[in-house]
Amino acid sequence: MKVAVVKYNAGNIFSVVHALQRMGVEPLLTDSPRELFSADRVIFPGQGEASNAMHYLRQRGLDQVIVSLRQPVLGICIGQQLLCRHSEEGDVDCLGVFDADVKRFVPLRHEDKIPHMGWNTLTPALSNAEEATSAPFPPLLKGLGKAPFVYFVHSYYVPVCKDTAAVTEYIHPFSSAMHKDNFYATQFHPEKSGAVGQQILHNFLTIDTSIR
Amino acid sequence: MLAKRIIPCLDVKDGQTVKGTNFLQLRQAGDPVELGKLYSQQGADELVFLDITASHEGRKTFADMVQKVAAEIDIPFTVGGGISELADVERMLSAGADKISINSAALRRPQLIDEIVSHFGSQVCVVAIDAQQDGEDWTCYLNGGRIPTGRDLFSWAREVNDRGAGEILFTSMNHDGVKQGFACEALNRLAAELTIPVIASGGAGCMEDFRDVFARGNVDAALAASVFHFGQISIPELKAYLKKENINVRL
Q: Rounded mean pLDDT of chain A?
A: 92
Residue B251 in domain = no
Q: What is the pLDDT of residue A195?
A: 95
How many domains does the structure of chain B reveal? 1
Report the first-to-last Cα separation within chain A, whole angstroms: 19
Residue B249 in domain = no
Dist CA A157 CA A164 (whole Å): 12
Give the ipTM of the model, two decimals please.
0.92
User: Do residues B222 and B234 touch, judged by C-beta distance below 8 A?
Assistant: no
Q: Which domain holds residue B79?
A: 5-244
E strands, chain B, in order = 5-13, 16-17, 47-51, 77-80, 99-102, 125-134, 137-142, 147-152, 167-172, 198-201, 221-224
Give residue-wise pLDDT tens across range A137-169.
788 999 998 899 999 999 999 999 999 999 999
**One-letter amino acid for residue A133 of the chain:** T
Share of chain A above pLDDT 70, in %: 94
pLDDT at residue A84 above 90?
A: yes
Q: What is the pLDDT of residue B14?
A: 84
Average pLDDT over residues A184-196: 97
Q: Which residues of A touch B1 (CB under 8 A)?
A: 120-121, 169
Q: Is B130 a catalytic residue?
A: yes
Q: What is the pLDDT of residue A49?
A: 87
| Minimum-distance CB partner of B75 among A121, A170, A192 | A192
Residues 6+ apart with CB under 8 A from B1: A120, A121, A169, B248
Class of domain A3-205: alpha beta
Average pLDDT over residues B80-105: 93
Give residue-wise pLDDT tens across range A9-67.
887 788 999 999 999 999 999 999 999 999 999 999 988 889 999 999 999 999 999 99
Q: Rounded mean pLDDT of chain B?
A: 92
List the single residue in B with minimal CA-CA distance to A198: B74
| pTM recorded for the entire structure | 0.93
pLDDT at residue A128 above 50?
A: no
User: Do residues B124 and B89 touch, judged by C-beta distance below 8 A?
Assistant: yes
CATH number assigned to the domain comprising residue B92: 3.20.20.70
- Residues of A annotated as catalytic are 77, 189, 191
Q: What is the pLDDT of residue A66?
A: 98
Residue B31 in domain = yes
pLDDT band of A125, cuts 50, 70, 90: confident
Residue B213 in domain = yes
Residue B227: DSSP 8-state? H
Q: What is the pLDDT of residue B42?
A: 96
User: Do residues A44 and A6 touch, judged by C-beta distance below 8 A?
Assistant: yes
- The closest of B129, B137, B117 to B201, measured between CA atoms, is B129
Q: What is the pLDDT of residue B51?
A: 92
Residue B183 DSSP SS3: coil
Q: What is the pLDDT of residue B145?
A: 81
pLDDT at residue B125 above 80?
A: yes
pLDDT at residue A134 above 60?
A: no
pLDDT at residue B157 above 70?
A: yes
Q: What is the pLDDT of residue B13?
A: 87
Q: Which residues of A touch B5 (CB under 8 A)?
A: 118-119
pLDDT at residue A132 above 60?
A: no
Dist CA B245 CA B228 (whole Å): 20
Other beta carbons within 10 angstroms of residue A76's beta carbon come to 28
pLDDT at residue B242 above 50?
A: yes
Residues 6+ apart with CB under 8 A from B162: none
**One-letter amino acid for residue A173 of the chain:** P
Give residue-wise pLDDT tens across range B175-227.
998 899 999 999 999 999 999 999 999 999 999 999 999 999 999 999 999 89
Q: What is the pLDDT of residue B25?
A: 60
pLDDT at residue B149 above 60?
A: yes
Instruction: Give the minimum alpha-carbon distance from A51 to chain B in angstroms, rounded to a whole number.
Output: 15
Residues 6+ apart with CB under 8 A from A192: A15, A151, B74, B75, B76, B98
Instruction: Give the minimum alpha-carbon distance from B178 to chain A in angstroms, rounded to a whole number.
Output: 29
Q: Which residues of B touch A15 (CB under 8 A)?
A: 70, 96, 98
Q: Are strands B221-224 and B5-13 parallel, antiparallel or unpaired?
A: parallel
